[in-house]
Amino acid sequence: MIPTPLPALPWQRTGNHWVSLPCIHPRDGSIHVLGVLHRGARGAVEFAGHERFADGTGPALARLAFTVDGTAQPLAPNGLAWELAGEWLPTFTGSAGAVLVRGTVFAPYGRDADTAGVVYAMSLENRGAAPVRLGVALEGELGHRQLRVRSASTFADPHRAMRTADETVVLKGTALPGLVAL
């Protein structure tokens, strides 16, 4: 038996029956890869911010971004404090300027979760003396897609990110028929 080496980062991870989030960065809570089970492909289709997502050095697929009074503020420049709620929900506490940020990253499941999805749930609290104007955004980059059965196979077609009329962002490949869109 060949042992599997430990990952370079102590990734946070979560998921459900349809979606896996195996690479949630411990420093800033960004999602570097998201996998979707595909019955027809008999494997997982993975979307990532960069082809080297496993070492956490490239751009994230999804990352929280904050502005306080119009100035960009990094989430927890000194790191996040992590806990697991219910033994599978990664929760974090950090700050963006004077704003305390508590968050949970999860993929809902159960009887009423008919659509696979991912949620960033946040609680924001101004710990400063004066009121602030706070902006929260989700940023990211689609830089890599692959099919994983036993090992990864990169998709050859170009990536496509598009915004629909109702402001939904769709990530997919350009080949037809496509296996999955996110």
- What value does the CA radius of gyration of the chain take, rounded to a whole number of Å? 17
Residue 46 has pLDDT above 80, yes or no: yes
Cβ–Cβ < 8 Å for 64, 30: yes
- If you average pLDDT over residues 111-128, what whole number do you get? 84
Q: Which residue has the higher pLDDT, 79 or 62?
A: 62
What average pLDDT is seen over the chain?
90
- The whole-number pLDDT of residue 108 equals 82
Q: Which residue has the higher pLDDT, 141 or 17?
A: 141
Q: What percent of the chain has pLDDT over 70?
A: 94
- If you average pLDDT over residues 3-32, what whole number do you get? 88
- The whole-number pLDDT of residue 109 equals 76
Give the DSSP letter string of the chain: -PPPPPPSS--EEEE-SSEEEEEE-TTT--EEEEEEEETTTTEEEEEESSTTGGGT-S--SBEEEEEETTEEE-S-TT--EEEEETTTEEEEEEEETTEEEEEEEE---STT--S---EEEEEEEE-SSS---EEEEEE----EEEEESSSEEE--SPEEEEE-TTS-EEEEESSSS-S---
- The whole-number pLDDT of residue 102 equals 97
- The whole-number pLDDT of residue 112 equals 65
CA-CA distances (angstroms) from residue 108 to 103, 113, 142, 171?
Answer: 15, 6, 23, 20
Rounded to 5°, the CA angle 6-91-117 comes to: 90
Rounded to 5°, the CA angle 150-158-152 comes to: 10
Cβ–Cβ < 8 Å for 22, 114: no
Residue 143: band (very low, low, confident or very high) from pLDDT cuts 50, 70, 90: very high
- The whole-number pLDDT of residue 88 equals 84
The 10s digit of each residue's pLDDT in 76-116 is 888 899 999 988 899 999 999 999 999 999 888 766 656 67
Residue 1 has pLDDT above 70, yes or no: no
Residue 33 has pLDDT above 80, yes or no: yes
